[in-house]
Chain A
Amino acid sequence: MANLEIDFCGIKSPNPFWLASAPPTNSGYQVQKAFSEGWGGAVWKTIGAPVLNVCNRYGTIDYKGTKIMGLNNVELISDRPIEVNLKEIRETKRLFPKHTVIVSVMVESKKESWQEIIKRIEDTGADGFELNFGCPHGMSERGMGSAMGQVPEYTQMVTEWVMEVAKTPVIVKLTPNITDIVVPARAAVKGGASALSMINTINSIMGVDLDTFTLRPDVGGKGGHGGYAGKAVKPIALNMVSAAASDEVVQKAGLAISGMGGIEDWRDAAEFMLLGATSVQVCTAVMHYGFRVVEDMIDGMSNWMDEKGFKTPADFIGKSLPRISSFGDFDLGFQTVARINQDKCINCNLCYIACNDAAHQCIDMKTMQLDPDQIKMQPVVREEDCVGCDLCSKVCPVDDCISMVQIETGRPHITWNELIKARPEILNDWDKMEEYRKTANIHIH
């Protein structure tokens, strides 16, 4: 069995699976139970300023009969007194010395307040801090959470305050409710952070009740934006993690990244790690099923690592980062066409209608005799017209029925950036573009 231990900016953790700062890490009872079921670490639910909560606190997106594709919440940071939290953190670390306990913090924007609470937390023996610059609801209106994370100068300033007194590693948690994640990530680097974590939840309104016209979640007839999380946000999170992980400033500073956003199982976790996350954090899957989901995360990742020949997570963390490129550097000569396996086709014709109405009209319905006593209309790709967009295989409900096959068309293997360097005239002149297309054997019908 593979060794799942990680080293997260000096913090050794038995495995990369951490609970995110959220309701599952609200108390010592919960975190200790989670550790006993296999979680490698936990980020304690944010402690700091005094708060009062409301109800209802959650809204969900249920998709086609499946519950909780996405979960939104308007719950605030810990509503338990700081003393109680500190006592339980100390006790938890004493009972589970090898497990990672990170404490999430959020106080008002005053240097003394931040430095005081950091010192008090450090006294518990916790392994590090996570600065909550991401909470998008309730706290942001009071000038905390995402209100700080959305202003790079604040992010840097508070990080600097904390770094002045912190002896253990400091993780800056970033909000996705910004335009470019790299900007606040660099602000954290400037402030001297030891690591980054992302993404916090996304601003969202979950829906409107069509009978009562109230919002979801419904707080006594009113509603408002809350933080969106769960499987639905995973692609957004993956993009942000990879953007931060491949940023040269972040890389040069050597900051570790803890990735989160929609991680439900070991495969999701592996994807975050391939894109540069050293540890991953989970909340929604635990909110739905309990701490026990970690057993398959450990087992599944370990089996996958054995199969791939990875001895430790370090062997694959960031392995897919070199593949991150941009449009200007893609090969314009890489051409694929769709091929339909007629033996597997079940005649739903979704590929035909998708191609015809929403793509490039290159699938025809043709009369075919597949066996001696049956003549049927089958979808057939006109390969010479297929642009290789891949929509048909995406809508096909049958596994391995439509495959995208690479073909050589004689087009030059050149990137957009190379092309416009060689022929800058095509950038603004359609006639020149047409001329180039002819020479490059590119026909667009």
Chain B
Amino acid sequence: MAEHYKPVKYKPWEMTLEERFQEYHPALTEREAVLEANRCLYCYDAPCMTACPTSIDIPTFIKKIATGNVKGSARKILEANLLGATCSRVCPVQELCEGACVLNEDEKPIAIGRLQRYSMDYAAERDIKFFKAGESNGFKVAVVGAGPAGLSCAGELAKLGYAVTCYERKAMSGGLDTYGIVVFREPVEISLAEVRMVEELGVTFKNNVSIGKDITMAQLVEQYDSVFVAVGLGNVPSMGVPGEDLEGVVDGLDFIEETKVKKLDEIKHGKRICVIGAGNTGIDCATIARRLGAERVTIIYRRSETEMPAYHFEYQFAMGEGVMFMFLTQPIEIVGENGKVVGIKCVRMDLGEPDHSGRRTPVLVPDSEFVLPCDMVVTAIGQEKHNEMLHALRAFGVKEVKHYISVDDETRRTAHHKIFAGGDCIRHKGEASTVMAVQDGKLAAAGIHKQLAGAGTCSTDKKTVSAPNK
């Protein structure tokens, strides 16, 4: 984590539970923001902007903070990314904009994420509304799944004059932004405020509605001019080891969700916790377990730190939180007594030859079994595919890649002319993030608009001037 990401002084033993779950990075003060904004070189054709999946005009929004036009700054961000407030908090900026900052060479990168949050907070505190619904064009679009991809698509379409209805299986909208990101990275209110912004653009939300149960895909395709599928992925899959049904074994995403919707002191957790899997969810689960008060938290991962999917800054953060890592270790059984977890049986692994993904394959070390005593096991080994949705879509001729929905790169359209898709459910190449989902929503909205209204997306009528021949 870059040096300027100084967290609040964190002394858990002196803090209440609520205090431990406050946002980890404090907001920038006005002075800090102006100083940091003035440090930005205002590069032309800036690499930070290219590195942002939603192509936010970063130098421009930062320049506007420097000139005191923070309202203009916020507008610039939201024009490119309706979920700018969430992205400013959850984006892996070191991998994206800040990682591309030219100042990485000689000093330190501009704190782009925190500056973006500064502008977003400014607009939120003043309740500034930047957009309104476009004049109705008579078209109706259904959005399935009100996560970041769905919200982005719905919002962009509403701005263009479409009547949009979002179908969401959960009670609250926002998807993983609302339910799946630990509160000390993003408070739930931030995500819900974004839902409200989209709602205020005239989008109808139908919550607690499951496709295939309450309404079918066929009905949606019949009733709407276009359908955008952004259902994300499912729960954590089974590990396929004995003991997974014991009391004390929990799904990592459910565990995170509890901290988002429940009172913190009502969350049941163990004292000695094993987290299986070293991805983003694993890190989140392990760190919230520590902050909830677990004494010993161990992340168990069958490969080494080189192969783990978590970002390096997440790894460092977890270590700073006192999380222990047990690499090259594979769980083979969850051990129970009286129906409750009492330990986890593991074997040691060694790394062998690279597999098809280029990562070295873990190989069992014979006779290396051991039992690690624990009273809770959190599984975080990825997410299941939405097989029901995939099945329903097959009836419309929608194609798949490795159980992800296959879409056109430019328009996010599937093989069926009325069905578009985006977000985690199309991300067959691995890495998935909120900001990529937002961009999917934008592209799909443009694709739908191009198809239905027959209009281009970037109808800038700027005169172009070509340089003289020298």
Contact = CB atoms under 8 A, between A and B. Distances in A.
Whether chain B is bound by chain A comes out as: yes
Interface string B57-72: 0001001101111011
B214 to A, nearest CB: 44
Interface stretch (B13-21, B386-394, B457-465): B457-465
Contact of B465 (A33, A290, A399): A33
Contacts of B464: 36
Contacts of B31: 399
A266 B63 CA distance: 12
A267 B68 contact: yes
Interface string B35-49: 000100010100000
A213 interface: no
B69 A290 contact: no
Contacts of B307: none
B465 A32 contact: yes
B465 A29 contact: yes
A289 B71 contact: no
Contacts of B69: 266, 296, 299-300, 303-304
Nearest to A27: B468
A267 B67 contact: yes
B32 to A, nearest CB: 11
Contacts of A267: 67-68
Contacts of B60: 292, 295-296
B30 interface: yes
A265 B42 CA distance: 14
Nearest to A288: B42
Interface in A289-315: 289-290, 292-293, 295-296, 299-300, 303-304
Contacts of A295: 60
Given A265-B67, A290-B44, A296-B64, A29 B72 contact: no
Contacts, number: 47
Given A29-B467, A29-B468, A289-B42, A399 B68 contact: no
Contacts of A303: 69, 71-72
Q: Looking at chain A's contact residues, is the secondary structure mostly helix, strand, loop, or mixed?
A: helix
A187 to B, nearest CB: 37
Nearest to B44: A290
Contacts of B71: 303
Contacts of A304: 69
Interface string B401-417: 00000000000000000
A292 B467 CA distance: 16
A95 interface: yes
B72 A299 contact: yes
A265 B462 CA distance: 23
Contacts of A32: 463, 465
A36 B464 CA distance: 7
Contacts of A325: none
Contacts of B38: 66
A17 to B, nearest CB: 13
B45 to A, nearest CB: 10
Nearest to B70: A303
B468 A266 contact: no
A329 B275 CA distance: 76
A123 B45 CA distance: 39
A267 B67 CA distance: 7
Nearest to A95: B463
A445 to B, nearest CB: 35
B205 to A, nearest CB: 31
Contacts of A265: 66-67
Contacts of B42: 289
Interface string A23-60: 00001010011001000000000000000000000000
Contact of B68 (A29, A33, A300): A300
A265 B38 CA distance: 13
Nearest to A96: B463
Contacts of B465: 29, 32-33, 36
Given A29-B465, A36-B465, A66-B38, A296 B30 contact: no
B273 to A, nearest CB: 37
Interface string B68-100: 110110010000000000000000000000000
Interface string A271-301: 0000000000000000001101101100110
Contacts of A292: 44, 60
Contacts of B468: 27, 29
Nearest to A34: B465
A341 to B, nearest CB: 15
A296 B464 CA distance: 20
Interface in B148-199: none
A300 B66 CA distance: 11
Interface in A159-204: none
B428 to A, nearest CB: 38
Nearest to A36: B463
A131 B69 CA distance: 35
A295 B66 CA distance: 14
A36 B462 contact: yes
Interface string B436-470: 00000000000000000000000000111101100
Nearest to B463: A36
13 contacts: A27-B468, A32-B465, A36-B465, A66-B38, A289-B44, A292-B60, A296-B64, A296-B72, A299-B69, A299-B72, A300-B67, A303-B69, A399-B31
In order of increasing CB-CB distance, the 6 nearest A-B pairs are A300-B69, A265-B67, A299-B72, A33-B465, A36-B463, A32-B465
Interface of B: 30-31, 38, 42, 44, 60, 63-64, 66-69, 71-72, 75, 462-465, 467-468
Given A66-B38, A266-B67, A303-B69, 15 more contacts: A32-B463, A32-B465, A36-B462, A36-B463, A36-B465, A267-B67, A290-B44, A293-B63, A295-B60, A296-B60, A296-B69, A299-B75, A300-B64, A300-B68, A300-B69
